[in-house]
Amino acid sequence: MRLKNRLQGWIQTPPDESSNQEGVRTRPEEPVSASNPSFTDGIATKDIRVDPSTALSVRIFLPESALLPSERPQPKSKAEESSLKSENNGDQGYTPSGQNCRKLPIMLQFHGGGWVSGSNDSVANDSFCQRIAKLCDAIVVAVGYRLAPESKYPAAFEDGLKVLNWLGKQSNNSTGDEPWLVAHADPSRCVLLGVSCGANIADYVARRTVELGKELDPVKVVAQILMYPFFLANEPTQSEIRLANTYFYDKAICLLAWQLFLPKDEFSLEHPAANPLAPNRGPPLKLMPPTLTVVAEHDWMRDQGVAYSEELRKVNVPAPLLDYKDTVHEFATLEMLLKTPQAEACAEDICIWVK
């Protein structure tokens, strides 16, 4: 109810755009997790501002498996870890040796939040990305894209592609300025992972990589994962008819979010940002990368994700579907649900497929 009231308030009195010229990527009322550039529980994290002119940033999750056995830190007591955190202060911590560094695949992750909330450094997203980085043995780069209504469509989509181009530069010793990625990232093995509305961003970025082709070298998107995508269409599905007014993130709240994200003159459930199967949306589906789709039984948008997965399979794109029973939208990424059996199984299933 608080979320619904907030969205309705923004529609009636939009935020002052002139005071947010850079855009915003987080909300003050949402708790965030501090980065820790020294390995704790097997993961080191670091925040980077990608575009100085906007709020676009990333959080890098580097698993300890990227280090050679001789470089891996020895177990420390809690007191030592606490002291190390205070000393590091966000810009020290692990520094690659530059010799025999292990290269890991990259997972470019886009958080959920209905375009208007959530962040790449929220407590829930931080925990989820750490879990994925460990299980997949991959570097997770979580994108802090600009939020609506301060930054409307296509800002979040453009931010996703901008980070992908930035990753390409980081893999080159002469152009990269982020040592973790220069030393450890293999951009030829890049997987896109989108959560809720982040899945819409991931799908857009995947389409653009198809269109751009070798222009993105050395980055190669080899697969994408769409977790309970925020897909809509004019034609109501069975899950929409049955679940529109039940459970959280109901249809009314989602439509409010879309009204805040899309410019007034572009609002439509058939907008390319909302419907991946909208007519005349390119490129052809048969050119899309292998796509894993995760859906939840009690999500009113479930059937739209299922339909997209089916259309990909019809044109011979490897597109498995994971359908979890007794689950709601964001069941594997909400902080309160991260320790449920379904959330843990989902993360493991994703990583089995990715590997």
323 is a catalytic site residue: no
18 is a catalytic site residue: no
CA-nearest of 246, 245, 256, 223 to 350 is 223
Q: Which long-range contacts (CB under 8 A, 24 or more apart) does 264-270 make?
A: 266/153, 268/234, 269/232, 269/233, 269/234, 270/233, 270/234
State how far the Cα of 169 lies from the Cα of 174, in Å rounded to an integer.
Answer: 9
- Residue 140 to residues 63, 179, 192, 326: CA-CA distances in angstroms? 9, 15, 10, 28
**Bridge partners of 49?**
57
**Bridge partners of 278?**
none
What is the helix (H) or strand (E) element at residue 106, kind and residue range? Answer: strand 104-110
CB 153 within 8 A of CB 145: no
What are the DSSP E strand ranges found in 178-266? 185-195, 221-227
Question: Of these residues, 196, 203, 271, 298, which one is catalytic?
Answer: 196
299 is a catalytic site residue: yes
**Bridge partners of 61?**
45, 140
CB 217 within 8 A of CB 175: no
Q: Which amino acid is located at 279 in the chain?
A: P
Question: Of these residues, 126, 159, 299, 303, which one is catalytic?
Answer: 299
CB 200 within 8 A of CB 269: no
Q: Angle between the 123-136 and 341-354 helix axes, to the nearest 10 degrees?
A: 50
Catalytic residue IDs? 196, 299, 329
